[in-house]
Amino acid sequence: MIVKGKDQQDTTNARYGSVLIVGGDSVVGTNLVKTFRMKRANVITTTRRVDKLDKATVWLDLLDVNATEFPSLKFDTAILCAGLTSKQQCDQDPQQSYKTNVDGIMHVVAKLAAQRAHIIYLSTNEVFSGSDCFPTHKADVNPMSIYGKLKAECESKIRSITSNLTIVRFTKIIHPKFPLFVEWVCRIKKRETIQPYCDKYFAPIPLDYAVNVILRLTSMKFPGIVHVSASRDISYYEAGVVIAKTLSRDINLVIPHRSINDDKDIPNLAKTALDTTTLKEIGFSPCDPCDTIKAWALKYNTTVV
């Protein structure tokens, strides 16, 4: 990944203490566990997959929290990654989503707050409506989607029970197997066209950058709200062109498409990029979205035959 300056990584001698990662199988959680362990931090994770249990991995189902036995260990920090993250799933079953993303998380937070753990709650730009440019961490939330509403409600409830808390709102995190881009690359390489939206926007950030921010927050125990966003929005069409160019393919294969025939899988937010004042306070500068896409394409191209 292209990262500018040494400020974009947490220092290897940072002190993390004992860390609980709730949702160790999530994309972000998996990479957090790997990175913390590389730095020899003391990490326990949770899973709802019985075949993955071991002495550092405890069972936790947000829909059955009473059955969970928390390890007797006291945690310095707990990072909350688990939850229903598909907007479509939240739309289809709002009750189940509420039980998971609000009730389940609050049960866990209550236990952790009682032992004075610092809590890092992973939230989203979807707590905003998308009508304002670069909302700050102090701006009022105004979610449009059910997923965003549950995240906003959970933020507010956690704040009411502990101040030992960082709320981190991410824009779109791009991981190495990001399915939309993988599909585009397959098609472009076969000289097939792709039709990304030219009127839907996102502010992509690399997964390893997101992980490094969380590591920094863990060592700093930063109190408050941090926005982790690219420096600006780009359209999905612009992203498609960057991928085609990076792979030295014909950019005419990328055909701009208007979102008249809606696709619910893509966030329907006019503006997604966030103000990053507090991100800068912890020593990170926001990434350029085109650099992120380019780095993704280069890396994907070298790892896939």
Ligand X SMILES: NC(=O)c1ccc[n+]([C@@H]2O[C@H](COP(=O)([O-])OP(=O)(O)OC[C@H]3O[C@@H](n4cnc5c(N)ncnc54)[C@H](OP(=O)(O)O)[C@@H]3O)[C@@H](O)[C@H]2O)c1
Only segment of 35-43, 69-77, 170-178, 187-195 that touches ligand X (CB under 6 A): 170-178
Backbone angles phi, psi at 2, to 5 degrees: -85, 115
**27 lies in the site for ligand X, by CB under 6 A:** yes
> Quick check: 227 and 274 in contact, CB under 8 A?
yes
Only segment of 19-27, 132-140, 233-241, 249-257 that touches ligand X (CB under 6 A): 19-27
Closest residue to ligand X: CB criterion:
26
Chosen residue from 3, 23, 141, 158 binding ligand X by CB under 6 A: 23
Q: Which is nearer to ligand X, 253 or 278 (CB)?
A: 278
**63 lies in the site for ligand X, by CB under 6 A:** yes
Q: How many residues bind ligand X (CB under 6 A)?
A: 22
Q: Which is nearer to ligand X, 173 or 253 (CB)?
A: 173
Only segment of 69-77, 132-140, 165-173, 194-202 that touches ligand X (CB under 6 A): 165-173
Residue 293 has which token pair?
């896409």
Subset of residues 103 to 122 that bind ligand X, contact rule: CB under 6 A: 122
Chosen residue from 32, 43, 58, 82 binding ligand X by CB under 6 A: 82
Chosen residue from 3, 8, 26, 35 binding ligand X by CB under 6 A: 26
**173 lies in the site for ligand X, by CB under 6 A:** yes
Subset of residues 203 to 222 that bind ligand X, contact rule: CB under 6 A: none
Binding site for ligand X (CB under 6 A): 23, 25-28, 48-49, 60-63, 81-85, 100, 122, 124, 170, 172-173
